[in-house]
Amino acid sequence: MSEKKTGFEEVESILRDIGSRIEQLIEMGKTATGEAKDDIEKKIKDLKDKKTTLEGEFMKGKEKVEKLYKEEMEPNFQESKVHFKEGFKQLLEGIKTLLGQK
């Protein structure tokens, strides 16, 4: 059974794929000559710059989400967990009372 990727893992996978495709272009550009080689090298540089920018923005977004989770969501989950356990205990007590087992 395949594992489902999280959004972050999927974006990281895409960024790795972009990097490998840039490397393929570099290899193809090595065989080019003249004006085509200059164009290819310029496009490769632009792609590398954009990839670096994307990676930076991705890391900033990932850090924000992780900070938000740790500061806001995790405490709420912990509080909800306590309430859930207490509600479950009350439900079990109600079932025991209905069945006459106290």
Q: What is the pLDDT of residue 4?
A: 63
In 3-state terms, what secondary structure has residue 55?
helix
On the question of pLDDT at 5 being above 70, the answer is no
Residues 61, 87 contacting (CB under 8 angstroms) = no
8-25 mean pLDDT: 85
In 3-state terms, what secondary structure has residue 88?
helix
The model's pTM:
0.55
Ordered by start, the domain boundaries in the chain are 7-99
Q: What is the pLDDT of residue 10?
A: 86
Q: Using one digit for the tens of pLDDT, what is the confidence trace for 18-71?
A: 888 888 888 877 787 778 888 888 888 888 888 889 889 989 988 988 888 888
